Amino acid sequence: MSTYDELVPVLKKLRLSGLLQSLEVRCREAADANLCMRCTSPVFRRPDGRRMLAA
């Protein structure tokens, strides 16, 4: 399973499905630039700085 496939249900669960429109392009750009994708970790940071488990 690819990173993209793993992120789709997580984004839907977090009600961030709007990101799905550009997710494939973002993943490709990150891979091309050798960037790690922080959003693939099981912990997300909320705007208020608190941590939230994705699963």
Is the confidence at residue 9, as pLDDT, over 60?
yes
Q: Give 47's pLDDT tier (boundaries 50, 70, 90).
A: low
**Residues β-bridged to residue 52:** 44
Task: Give the separation between CA 50 and CA 32, rounded to whole angstroms.
Answer: 30
Q: What's the structural domain count of the chain?
A: 1
Question: What is the pTM (predicted TM-score) of this model?
Answer: 0.44
Give first-to-last CA distance, the chain, whole Å.
17
Is the confidence at residue 41, as pLDDT, over 60?
no
Is the confidence at residue 50, as pLDDT, over 70?
no
Q: What number of CA atoms fall less than 13 Å from residue 15's CA on the CB side? A: 0
* Boundaries of domain holding 39: 3-53
| Closest to 54 in 3D by CA, of 7, 46, 44 | 44
Is the confidence at residue 13, as pLDDT, over 70?
yes
Per-residue pLDDT, 36: 64
